[in-house]
Amino acid sequence: MTKFLPDGQAPKRRPKNIRGKVAAIAAFLLAGSGIAAPAQGGTQTFDIDLKDATLVELFRQIERQGECSFVYSIDDIRAVNRKDYRFSDATLAAVLDHAVAGTPLLYEIKDNHVIITKGAARQQRQSNRKSPRPPLRRFR
């Protein structure tokens, strides 16, 4: 049975599975545009020469050269001392290993994002997780 609008016209039909069609078009456009998945610390190399630089300056330099972004708390990295960073054809992991060496910071690479966390904060979050309830004791 067709429902009619008050003015006597039938409603317009929407194409079925519109989401699938939109997703297929978006995938086609992205594939044809030359956007590639960024390196995950292994294949892309970096040339960096920074003197007496902060971690923020290093992160910006890496973002300019690569296709990755950084996620961090400014409070976590503010206390880290300035360093010299000199790399030639170094992987992202090698640069980050040097950057966080001797600091309480940890890094994790997920897709094209580098997540910087404070080691103690991560351990504290893990310890805050609820452990299984201990068995009930029966008193006689």
Taking alpha carbons only, the member of 66, 64, 101, 108 closest to residue 83 is 101
Tens digits of pLDDT across the chain (140 residues): 556 566 666 656 655 555 555 554 554 444 443 333 344 445 788 999 999 999 999 999 999 998 899 999 998 888 889 999 999 999 999 999 999 999 999 999 998 899 999 976 444 444 445 556 566 666 66
Does residue 83 belong to any structural domain of this protein? yes
Read off the amino acid at residue 140. Answer: R
The tally of domains found in the chain comes to 1
Q: Rounded to whole angstroms, how far apart are CA atoms 44 and 135?
A: 52
From residue 82, alpha-carbon distances to 58, 60, 78 in Å are: 10, 15, 10
R_g (Cα) of the chain, nearest Å: 26
Backbone phi, then psi, for 106, in 5-degree steps?
Answer: -125, 155
The DSSP bridge partners found for residue 31 are: none
45 phi/psi in degrees, rounded to 5: -115, 160
* Domain CATH code at residue 115: 3.55.50.30
Q: Which amino acid is at 86?
A: R
> Does the model's pTM come out above 0.85?
no
For residue 5, is it within any domain?
Answer: no
Range of the domain at 98: 45-127
N residues, the chain: 140
